[in-house]
Amino acid sequence: MSAPLLAAAALHVAYDGILAVQEVHLAVPAGRIVTILGPNGAGKSSLLNALMGVVPCAGCVTFAGHDLAAEGVEARVAMGLSLVPEKRELFSSMSVEDNLRLGRFRLRRGAGGEAALKKIFAMFPRLEERRHQQAGTLSGGERQMLAMGRALMGEPRLLMLDEPSLGLAPLVVRDILEAVARLRDAGVSILLVEQNARAALRIADYGYVLEGGRVVMEGPPATLQADGRIIESYLGFRAAEPA
């Protein structure tokens, strides 16, 4: 396997001296879906925010061979990293279309804006129906689609998704995760944080299990699904599986 697109080594994130992420090693190969699983408060969001540069961290993060230590959020977006945060962080009083166009602000002087918009609307037809509606009036699933669409307008190489299925109906979750799988097939690498382990492992190529800020297990989906102890403690499969 070639060098990974994104690699983190000995990553630590601390808030007011309390460690949220400790000693995490992680790699996302190009064109793959890597998922991070784990219970609430395991440090999953902190990890993504640190990789994006939204919160400070210690350790080494490289993207496409470049050290990210000195790079701010803006520079990381320019390199091709993009984060869809857990709270979506949409521009709620602006229209769906404006939200999408602003996702391309970095590339505003280049061509291809219309084509990119068309691609997003083809991927999420619901957004086209609501293109003039205010983002704040969308349903939960539409908001997630818009957040993903806005991130994709910037043509990222790696898309980081923080709990995209949070609070959504099962059918919508399926739609969103199918879209994620299609994105991977289109060449976008994905780092997917999920509490919904079963759904995430269905599309992922590799997984990490985070607990108390540490990686307690990693491997391909089959390995993770086979480990009874991990399943019971962190993934809640048994509870979800009908007897």
Contact set with other proteins (CB under 8 A) = 52, 54, 70, 73-74, 77-78, 82-83, 85, 89-94, 98, 101-106, 108, 150-151, 153-154
Q: How far is the CB of 53 from other proteins (least distance, A)?
A: 9
Q: Which is nearer to other proteins, 91 or 237 (CB)?
A: 91
Nearer to other proteins, 23 or 74 (CB): 74
Do 29 and 19 contact (CB within 8 A), yes or no? no
How far apart are the C-alpha atoms of 236 and 120, rounded to whole Å?
34
Q: Which residues contact 94 (CB under 8 A, 6 or more apart)?
A: 102, 134, 135
Q: What is the CA radius of gyration of the chain?
A: 18
Distances (CA, A) of 216 to 139, 141, 156, 228, 230: 35, 31, 29, 14, 9
- The minimum distance between CB 144 and other proteins, in angstroms, equals 14
142: left (phi over 0), alpha (psi -120 to 50) or beta: alpha
In the complex, least distance from residue 136 CB atom to other proteins, rounded to whole angstroms: 9
Helix boundaries (H) for 124-169: 125-129, 140-153
The least CB distance from residue 171 to other proteins, in Å, is 27
Looking at beta carbons only, is 94 or 179 nearer to other proteins?
A: 94
Cβ-based nearer residue to other proteins, 80 or 207: 80
CB of 78 to other proteins, least distance (A): 6
What phi, psi does 105 have (nearest 5°)? -55, -40
Q: Which is nearer to other proteins, 131 or 214 (CB)?
A: 131
Three-point CA angle 142, 36, 21, nearest 5°: 115
